Structure 1
Amino acid sequence: MAETPVAENITLEDLRKKMEDFAKERDWEKYHSPRNLLLALIGEVGELSEIFQWKGEVPKGLSDWKEEEKVHLGEELSDVLLYLVRLSDICGVDLGKAALRKIGLNAIKYPKFDGSPL
């Protein structure tokens, strides 16, 4: 059985390096073009979507979900994250910096709600 890594303070850089090593160990780098990774990411988003497809609205925290459903959700969310991290690495994008920059741009575009009516 594969060893489960400890999830304490994992950074995007840790994930990037683990994905890079994983691909190298399997000689998969030749398949990890931006296009191929994007298509794989889209496929994983589809699998994630299937989990919610027939559930209607679900409560925050998924209190009415079975534990195995939550585990499956975690696996699919992880697949999406890992392909996104790998894609950003292959494209030479520092995902953490890009995400922080985007949050800053969104804060300008969508200022804090001041409570006043339109």
Structure 2
Amino acid sequence: MNIDELTRRLHAIRDHNDWRRFHSPKNLTMAASVEMAELVEIFQWLGEDESRALAPQQLAHAGEEIGDVVLYLLLLCSELGLDLDAVVRAKLADTERRYLQ
């Protein structure tokens, strides 16, 4: 995944539709939360085993919602001036330090 390319493409869509004015960190965070809630809804009443064996249509829907969450997070990082790759790597290194002892 080339984060810079994805971000450029998202910016092209944003700019073409004059959405920059709506893309405040607050709004992007709320939008990502809404998409995450849509992902949660897929699993809401499933048992543990059912959640690991989604039907093809459910799996495709989950993929769409995951994509939405990731794209909003890319836009949020852009607005905040954060490097998504660096943020994720730093968090992973911290998690490894804490839980691989």
**Same fold, TM exceeding 0.5?**
yes
Q: Deviations over 1:2-52 (max 9, x none)?
A: xxxxxxxx3122221111111001000010000000011111111010000
1:109 alignment partner in structure 2: 98
C-alpha distance after superposition, 1:34-84 (max 9, x if no partner): 000001111111101000001121368x4x422111111110110111101
Aligned to 1:4: none
The equivalent residue for 2:27 is 36
Distance (Å, rounded) in 1 between the aligned partners of 2:57 and 2:97:
40
Q: What percent identity do the matched residue pairs reach?
A: 34
1:35-114, aligned counterparts within 5 Å?
A: 35-58=26-49, 62=52, 64-112=53-101
Unaligned runs of 5+ in 1: 1-9, 113-118
1:79 and 1:44 mapped to 2: Cα distance?
Answer: 6
Cα pair distance change 1:58/1:27, threshold 3 Å: farther
User: 5+ unaligned residues in a row in structure 2: which ranges?
Assistant: none
Q: Runs in 1 of length 4+ with deviation above 2 angstroms?
A: none
Letter in structure 2 aligned against 1:80: V
In 1, Cα distance between the equivalents of 2:49 and 2:13? 35
Alpha-carbon distance in 1 for matches of 2:85, 2:100: 22
Q: Which residue of 2 aligns with 1:25?
A: 16
Higher helix share: 2
Pair 1:22–1:102, CA change in 2 (3 A): same
Structure with the greater alpha carbon radius of gyration: 1
